[in-house]
Amino acid sequence: MLNCFGMIPVLTAVMLTNEPTKFQKYQPLIVHAETAGVQHLHVREFNNILYIDGHTPSEEVKHELWKLFYTIDEGYRSGDLVLNLTSKQAV
């Protein structure tokens, strides 16, 4: 089927895959960080890598978030997330 320019539209690889976006993939981690009281939570994507920064209220919360990260990306093999958390207790 031709578009209004007389050309056949081309779908990009992103349109053809059903893979979730980084924000969708790590949504449980982001929500848990919000509900656990992580302060200065900053989530952004750059060069196909999701960056999550923030200050956790305790070491326990920090470890919970790292455990959740591991359940989403077992072995941290994807290389698509940088989790930069500091604990207020450690500061």
As to burial, measured by CB atoms within 10 angstroms (0-12 exposed, 13-18 middle, 19+ buried), residue 1 is: exposed
**What pairs with residue 53 in β-bridges?**
42, 84
CA distance 85 to 40: 10
pLDDT above 70 (res 16): no
Token duo for residue 38: 């992580």
pLDDT band, residue 29 (cuts 50/70/90): very high
Kindly report whether the global pTM for this prediction surpasses the value 0.85: no
* pLDDT given at position 12: 45
* pLDDT given at position 76: 85
Q: What is the pLDDT of residues 37-87, one digit of tens each?
A: 999 999 999 999 999 999 999 999 999 999 999 999 988 889 999 999 999
